[in-house]
Amino acid sequence: MSDLQLRLATSDDLNTLLQLEHRCFTEDRLSRRSFRRFLDMPRDRLIVAEAESKGVIELMGYCLVLMSAATRMARIYSIAVLPTARGRGIGEQLVRAAEREAADAGRILMRLEVREDNGGAIGLYKRLGYRQFGTYRDYYEDHGTALRFERRILFYEPAPEFTPVPYYPQTTDFSCGPAALIMAMAALDEQQPLTTLEELKIWREATTIFMLAGHGGCGPHGLALSAWNRGFEASAWLSTEGPLFQDTVRSDDKKRVLELVHEGFLQDIGQTSIELHHNPLTLEAIAQALHSGRVPIILISTWQLNRSRVPHWVTVCAIDDQFVYLHDPEIDVKDGETVADKQHLPVDKRVFSQISRYGRNQPLQAAVIVGPKR
């Protein structure tokens, strides 16, 4: 709709907003008091769409966006389009304007709820790139069910001071470490293979031990050795000196195997120039590494991201005043994720400090920094 004008609402719009609300909804209506409260909240945005009709400016729709004070998320709380103006793309323009406002305010994700029987709105949100991630039962006044959707809205703009890091997704459930390392090495050497074969080779070299039950992933010692054996500089940063992931297995025999694997890694590292640092890698050290042309890979806990308590390796691509930008090699296709969802993922620095550790008692912090070829 070319003649549509979008702007932020003011208190002068209260009466027309109420009229629109009553024309669009029979239940779950916003009151004058609610509209006024949202207008008075500096964080939130109430966007209105208006157009001229027969010489009169008419309110065609609105979109109310709430900005969380505690997180980097925004939420479309309510959206309405005049019944006589539907089918003209107004809803899409309102959603896009809401996303721009939220992104400009530093929000990473936009979330919303929609009635499960509102096929038109669901189709619009899916077409705009939103994916369903949850369900609310008995959400509306008539006890109807709401579907929860979200879309990433803030994206990284490449900065010349950082080495571009190509994206490579892991191809197995257990090879996030090799995938993260492959991305780091490929950033420094364009000849670095980006293949499943290379991914599995590194996993065989770097895994602590593979078991039917218990830890079967890669630790920082093995990943650092894999990088060094391929001609790269490497350093490992750990918050502990002993064997890793012992609390993931119960058998004493298996714990002993982990100890022996750890001893073997230390012996191999002793024959290299790999630096071992037994203290956590700070944000300042991450920034210094990136600015010097090196690429860190970090062990994180995914609890803050997807409520799964598993150790997971990611590649750090960039850092700025607000965010640490990650390449996450795990793509959950069944959940509707795409490559775009996992590249340059902006994580608030405060949140990053919480996720860059694994475990409850004496949480493990681990990282590997990969440098140019020797």
C-alpha–C-alpha distance, residues 30 and 80, integer Å: 11
Please report the DSSP string for 64-123 in residue order.
EEEE-SSSSEEEEEEEEE-GGGTTSSHHHHHHHHHHHHHHHTT--EEEEEEETT-HHHHH
| Mean pLDDT within 341-346 | 87
**Same-domain check for residues 196 and 77:** no
Residues 6+ apart with CB under 8 A from 154: 72, 103, 106, 107, 108, 346
Domain CATH for 22 = 3.40.630.30
Q: How large a percentage of the chain has pLDDT more than 70?
A: 93
**Same-domain check for residues 128 and 184:** no
161 within a domain of the structure (yes/no): no
Q: How does pLDDT run across 12-30, given as a tens digit for each residue? A: 999 999 999 999 998 889 9
Instruction: From 319, 297, 316, 300, select the one nearest 308 (Cα to Cα).
Output: 300
**pLDDT level of residue 303 (50, 70, 90 thresholds):** low
170 within a domain of the structure (yes/no): no
**pLDDT level of residue 43 (50, 70, 90 thresholds):** very high
**How many domains does the structure of the chain reveal?**
2
Which residue range forms the structural domain that includes residue 186? 176-373
167 within a domain of the structure (yes/no): no
Helix spans in 189-219 (H): 196-206
Judge whether residue 39 has pLDDT over 60.
yes
- Choose the final residue of a domain: 136, 152, 168: 152
**pLDDT level of residue 332 (50, 70, 90 thresholds):** confident
Judge whether residue 212 has pLDDT over 60.
no
Judge whether residue 49 has pLDDT over 70.
yes
Tokens 């916003």 identify what position? 30
Better-scored residue on pLDDT, 347 or 79:
79
**Same-domain check for residues 107 and 241:** no
**Same-domain check for residues 243 and 211:** yes
DSSP 88: S
Q: Note the pLDDT of residue 258.
A: 80
Judge whether residue 307 has pLDDT over 60.
no
**Same-domain check for residues 343 and 200:** yes
Q: How does pLDDT run across 66-97, given as a tens digit for each residue? A: 998 767 889 999 999 999 888 899 999 999 99
Q: Note the pLDDT of residue 52.
A: 83
249 within a domain of the structure (yes/no): yes
Judge whether residue 211 has pLDDT over 70.
no
**Same-domain check for residues 197 and 138:** no
**Same-domain check for residues 22 and 139:** yes
**Same-domain check for residues 89 and 142:** yes
| Direct distance between the N- and C-terminal alpha carbons of the chain, in angstroms, rounded to an integer | 59
For 26, other C-beta atoms within 10 Å of its C-beta total 9
**pLDDT level of residue 236 (50, 70, 90 thresholds):** very high
Q: How large a percentage of the chain has pLDDT more than 90?
A: 62
Q: How does pLDDT run across 106-145, given as a tens digit for each residue? A: 898 999 999 999 999 999 999 999 999 888 888 888 889 9
**pLDDT level of residue 357 (50, 70, 90 thresholds):** confident
Residues 6+ apart with CB under 8 A from 242: 262
C-alpha–C-alpha distance, residues 244 and 257, integer Å: 11
256 within a domain of the structure (yes/no): yes
341 within a domain of the structure (yes/no): yes
The answer to whether the Cα torsion of 97, 98, 102, 103 is positive or negative is: negative
Domain CATH for 227 = 3.90.70.10
Better-scored residue on pLDDT, 215 or 279:
279
**SS3 readout for 264-305:** HHHHHHCCCCCEEECCCCCHHHHHHHHHCCCEEEEEEECHHH
**Same-domain check for residues 126 and 81:** yes
**Same-domain check for residues 139 and 236:** no
Q: How does pLDDT run across 143-197, given as a tens digit for each residue? A: 899 999 999 998 888 788 999 999 999 999 889 999 999 999 999 999 999 999 9
- Choose the final residue of a domain: 101, 120, 152: 152
Listed range (78-87, 249-258, 312-321) with the worst mean pLDDT: 249-258
